[in-house]
Structure 1
Amino acid sequence: MKVMSSKRVFDVLFSLLGIMLLIPLFVLVSICIMIDSKGGVLYRQTRIGRNNAAFSLLKFRTMRIGADQAGELTIGLRDSRITPFGYFLRKYKIDELPQLFNILIGEMSFVGPRPEVSKYVNLYDVQQQRVLSVKPGITDWASITYINENQLLATSANPETFYIEQVIPDKIKQNLKYVDHHNFWIDMKIILLTLKNIMFNR
């Protein structure tokens, strides 16, 4: 019988606890999304996880239907594709909460490299592909550094080129730091710094 690691035990217990405690919020957010704009409550996007395995990452829908066809990146504070209520969800990272289900079923962890879409993963070199050796997470060192990523991209004349040539390599550099040096206490530090940034970096 396979014994779960302490990290997996933490993920299962706290994702389950979070889901149970947040059910009222999930219901309220779902109702607000349906009132705010046409479309479903959840947005599913194929991301690349551990060992290059694809999975459906869950988010509360914050954009109008079909908005992702105009590009993968969200630019600036007021991307016209984002719904009014979606802006609020993104500002406080509430749109990420459905990923508790991704954690519960074992596709993600609370802490780990943020999973990318295949379009960008296909650009990784052999060294960079080491970020796929661990389970992806809701937050990581790069998420703390780039909490205002949308605004940063808005300053570039070519946001996607800037993202590919500057942001992705720096994110991977930080993620590889995590791959090589991570433990329970580092995970706790990343979680606390992430919460601090969400609450106070506004």
Structure 2
Amino acid sequence: MPKRLFDLIFALISVIILAGLLLLSLLLASIDTYSFGLFWQDRIGQHGKRFKIFKIKSLHDSTKKVTAFGRCLRAFKLDELPQLLNIILGQMSFVGPRPDLPGFADLLQGNDRQFLTLKPGLTGLASLKYRNEETLLAKQASPQNYNDTVIWPDKVRINNWYSTHRSFIMDIQILFYTVFPFLSFDVEEFMNERR
């Protein structure tokens, strides 16, 4: 089945199944943040083009701090649910490199830009490896430096590897381990087995 057809059908089914949870999350986020619970933000998409990504708000507008409900949303990745609309619109796929804020992927040069030929994904190999990225960064003396010098280059490496090795079966495996995060999955081992 072509990837776009799979994405469209699966996204439409997911929206129908998760509509109640999505609406409830939006309502609670609106109450929790004292503002409309949905927000959109510029991200870098396929071929380096910008698009608006949709998320459920987890930050309070005035304090810019993560709210109590926002922490819950982030812990279970529920703040990402509105990205099903990005998938339906054809801006994203279920599996692919996560779309970054301007100032990262759009500044890459040469072969490092290889993964930008793909649509960004709701999940991907780099997302699985750095599932607990916020916790990892919180342990660093200089979180921004650690992100810029360790995490970001590693994500580029993983995303470029995915761009040359991807397959429908691999996408299903990535989705499976995304949905069942308690199952053991070593991204580096997974990649080494397929070199």
Report the TM-score when normalising by structure 1: 0.86
| 1:24 partnered with 2:20 | yes
C-alpha deviation, 1:35, in angstroms: 2.0
| RMSD of aligned Cα (Å) | 1.6
Q: How is 1:2-17 mapped onto 2 (pairs within 5 angstroms)?
A: 6-17=2-13
Q: How is 1:138-149 mapped onto 2 (pairs within 5 angstroms)?
A: 138-149=122-133
| 1:40 partnered with 2:24 | no
Between the aligned partners of 1:100 and 1:110, the Cα distance in structure 2 is 8
Between the aligned partners of 2:94 and 2:72, the Cα distance in structure 1 is 22
Secondary structure class of the residue paired with 2:40: strand
Aligned amino acid, residue 62 of structure 1: S
Q: Provide structure 1 residue ranges, at least 5 long, that are not aligned to the other structure.
A: 69-80
| 1:102 partnered with 2:86 | yes
Between the aligned partners of 2:63 and 2:178, the Cα distance in structure 1 is 27
Aligned amino acid, residue 52 of structure 1: G
Secondary structure class of the residue paired with 1:156: coil
Aligned amino acid, residue 169 of structure 2: W
Between the aligned partners of 1:166 and 1:195, the Cα distance in structure 2 is 26
Between the aligned partners of 1:165 and 1:25, the Cα distance in structure 2 is 37
Structure 1 pair 62/138, CA: closer, same or farther in 2 (3 Å)? same
Which residue pairs with 1:136 in the alignment? 120
C-alpha deviation, 1:66, in angstroms: 5.8
Q: Which of 104, 114, 120 matches 2:104?
A: 120
Deviations 1:129-168 (A, max 9, x none): 1110111001111111000000111111111111111101
Structure 1 pair 51/67, CA: closer, same or farther in 2 (3 Å)? farther
Q: Provide structure 2 residue ranges, at least 5 long, that are not aligned to the other structure.
A: 185-195
CA contact (8 A) 2:177 2:183 kept: no
Between the aligned partners of 1:166 and 1:176, the Cα distance in structure 2 is 16
Report the TM-score when normalising by structure 2: 0.89
Which residue pairs with 1:157 in the alignment? 141
C-alpha deviation, 1:67, in angstroms: 6.2
Which residue pairs with 1:178 in the alignment? 162
Secondary structure class of the residue paired with 2:55: strand
